[in-house]
Amino acid sequence: MDTRLLHTFTTLARTGSFTAAAAELHLAQSTVTVHIRTLERELGTRLFDRLPTGTLLTESGRRALDGAEEVLDAVARLRADGGPRDGREGGGDGVVRGRVRVGAPESLCATRLPGVVAALRADHPEVDVELYAAGTADCVEGLRSGRLDLALVLEGEEGLPFSDVVAEPVAGEALVLVCAPRHPLAARKRAVTWAELAAESFFLLEEGCSYSDALERRLLAVPDARPRLTRFGSVDAARACVAAGLGLTLLPLTTVAEQLREGRLARVRGPRFDDVPVRLARHRRRWTGPAAEAFARDLVRQGAAGGDGPSPESESDSDSESA
């Protein structure tokens, strides 16, 4: 069986559109159509339902998809272990080559990952890294669909209840509650209580961000709580609103360290927030190529470096209730 047909099949299954699959594969749409029809004829079954809004895998297609991915993984492994040099993966010459597609929250893309990519480029100059800013749900979907090779998620173990995705802790992100320097809470000597926080305005990251969701639940659990909560998909947007004096936010220390040093933001003395784990996730069944493994090794090495700036506990009330 021509593996090109399987590659087209898995791409169409992931994108759900002949047009999108053709664009990703750099093929004419008619070629994608021919590939799928040829594969359906060879397998003796219909793989997709053609709908006005795109394509949908049939039951036979869903069963065939797992097998197709296993075959493609096996072919990639053979090429990497000793097949002809094709410029895509490592081989017998000891040179690691290829492309790594990594999903991660925006905060990690802007803070931790540039150092990892720089170290990887120095060690393996023929490895290319593509970073995609994404939350946990999008990262898991990307791993399942094959759109991502690896993902970084800010989640505890309970946040990844997926049997087909495995994750290992590689670091921890310290969290800090911040406001504008002129905000009334910035000058407070006494730690602010949950009841007082529940009367404030907050600018948090979008739903699906584990620490933002946890903070929202804790605020809404306060009796007669009336916090004003605005959710953003961007660290920059939340940080800018807070710097303008509009409210508070909870963010990784690495994303606000510069603003704290320069006096554009100030810590709020209040409840202590546990560090959020940084986990490296991958698909349980899908093979991880040499380029992705090299990225993972450099990530683990860099993970010990931690965040930037002083520990947030230095300005928190040590007796305050933990979030």
Task: Pick the last residue of a domain from 48, 82, 116.
Answer: 82
Percentage of the chain modeled with pLDDT above 90:
50
Say which DSSP state 232 is in.
Answer: E
DSSP-derived pairing of the beta strands 266-267 and 127-133: unpaired
266-310 confidence digits (pLDDT tens): 999 999 999 999 999 998 877 788 889 899 988 888 764 444 434
Answer whether residue 323 is part of any domain.
no
- Average the pLDDT over 218-242 and give the result: 93
Identify whether residues 15 and 60 lie together within a single domain. yes
Answer whether residue 36 is part of any domain.
yes
**Which helix (DSSP H) or strand (DSSP E) does residue 280 occupy?**
strand 276-283
What does the alpha-carbon distance between residue 38 and residue 22 come to, in Å, rounded to a whole number?
16
Identify whether residues 197 and 254 lie together within a single domain. yes
Identify whether residues 77 and 160 lie together within a single domain. no
Task: Pick the last residue of a domain from 273, 293, 313.
Answer: 273
Identify whether residues 258 and 209 lie together within a single domain. yes
Identify whether residues 261 and 182 lie together within a single domain. yes
Answer whether residue 88 is part of any domain.
no
Q: How many domains does the chain have?
A: 3
| β-bridge partners, 177 | 250
Residue 60 Cα distances to 8, 73, 135, 320, angstroms:
16, 20, 31, 56
Say which DSSP state 199 is in.
Answer: T
Identify whether residues 123 and 154 lie together within a single domain. yes
Task: Pick the last residue of a domain from 273, 290, 316.
Answer: 273
Answer whether residue 241 is part of any domain.
yes
Mean of the per-residue pLDDT values of the chain: 85
Answer whether residue 317 is part of any domain.
no
78-89 confidence digits (pLDDT tens): 766 654 444 444
pLDDT on residue 111 = 87
Identify whether residues 141 and 281 lie together within a single domain. yes
Identify whether residues 199 and 142 lie together within a single domain. no
Answer whether residue 9 is part of any domain.
yes
Which residues, including other chains, have CB under 8 Å from residue 235's CB and lie 6 or more apart? 106, 107, 110, 205, 251, 255
Identify whether residues 32 and 53 lie together within a single domain. yes
Answer whether residue 93 is part of any domain.
no
Residue 217 — very low, low, confident or very high, per pLDDT cuts 50/70/90? very high
Select the more confidently predicted residue: 320 or 299. Answer: 299
Q: In what order do the strands lie in the sheet with 175-179?
A: 249-252, 175-179, 266-267
Three-state DSSP class for residue 48: strand
12-54 confidence digits (pLDDT tens): 998 899 999 999 888 999 999 999 999 999 999 999 999 988 8
Identify whether residues 164 and 187 lie together within a single domain. no
- Average the pLDDT over 252-261 and give the result: 94
- Average the pLDDT over 312-323 and give the result: 46
**Which helix (DSSP H) or strand (DSSP E) does residue 119 occupy?**
helix 113-123
Answer whether residue 250 is part of any domain.
yes
Residue 321 — very low, low, confident or very high, per pLDDT cuts 50/70/90? low
With CA atoms as reference, report the closest residue to 136 among 198, 31, 209: 209
| Structural tokens at position 127 | 């490895």
Beta strands in the chain (DSSP E): 48-51, 54-57, 98-104, 127-133, 150-154, 165-173, 175-179, 201-205, 228-232, 249-252, 266-267, 276-283
Residue 45 Cα distances to 15, 16, 39, 49, 66, angstroms:
20, 18, 9, 11, 15
- Average the pLDDT over 130-154 and give the result: 88
The boundaries of the domain holding residue 167 are 98-173+277-303
Q: What is the CATH number of the domain that holds 233?
A: 3.40.190.10
Identify whether residues 263 and 115 lie together within a single domain. no
Identify whether residues 241 and 267 lie together within a single domain. yes
